[in-house]
Homo-oligomer: A and B are copies of this chain.
Amino acid sequence: MTRNVVDPVTELWGDDLVPVARALLTSAVHCFARRGFTGTTTRDISTGAGLSPAALYVHFRSKEDVLFEIARRGHLRALEAVSVPEVLAGADDPPSRLRAVMSRFVTWHALHHVAARVCQYELAALNPEHLEEIAGIRREFPELFRAVIVEGVDRGDFAPVDAGRVVRALLSLGVDLVRWYRSDGPDSPEQLGRFYADLAVSMVSAVPGPPAG
């Protein structure tokens, strides 16, 4: 079944880029997802966008620069998706906020699993300065989850969990689904988001039974 008539990759770029540059980034995501960064040439990216082989260099300095723009814009879009004001302030109680943040985080990663897979698995190909800039954006995600967990523990809405470990686990669930999620699977991105929001609330609730010892 096809749920998305529009390729979700095309929605990741901004109006500050001309249409040709956006088409090159979209083509690059599909090339990198299929053949990896190393296995892709700048010619593949240009011709994949219906352009002449050297067209890429009109808009980007290098293949690495293309990967950086994909990673930068991809990570910023994901961060926007989970940090909109109504999520951070509107949902008054920590359980509702945890559900909102987790469902948005998971829905975004499922909808954008192709681009997210590139953002996740090809980062090693970035140069050190670019990698550090992406790492800076990535550090916002655990902070965002941690704030909700800590507030819920402080208010007594959640069990006295170890916030750092729980945040790691919640992020793992979203990050790893880009490995296995497929658009033609049983769950829509929104259904998966709701399921993982329920799991997140379970994970901060009191654990029944004895510890594993």
A contacts, CB < 8 Å to B: 36, 38, 95, 99-100, 103, 121, 124, 162, 164-166, 168-169, 171-173, 175-177, 179-180, 186-187, 192-199, 201-203, 205, 207-209, 211-213
Contact = CB atoms under 8 A, between A and B. Distances in A.
Contact of A169 (B199, B201, B208): B199
Given A124-B36, A203-B203, A198 B173 contact: no
Nearest to A125: B36
A134 to B, nearest CB: 15
Nearest to A100: B212
A55 to B, nearest CB: 26
B212 A103 contact: yes
A201 B197 contact: no
A94 to B, nearest CB: 11
A195 B165 contact: yes
A134 B171 CA distance: 27
A171 B201 CA distance: 19
A8 to B, nearest CB: 21
Contacts of A203: 199, 202-203
Contacts of A186: 164
Given A95-B208, A194-B211, A201-B207, 4 more contacts: A99-B212, A100-B212, A172-B175, A199-B207
Contacts of A209: 95, 201
23 contacts: A36-B124, A38-B38, A95-B209, A164-B186, A165-B187, A168-B177, A172-B172, A172-B173, A172-B175, A173-B173, A173-B176, A176-B176, A193-B212, A194-B212, A194-B213, A198-B207, A198-B212, A199-B203, A202-B202, A202-B207, A202-B208, A203-B203, A205-B207
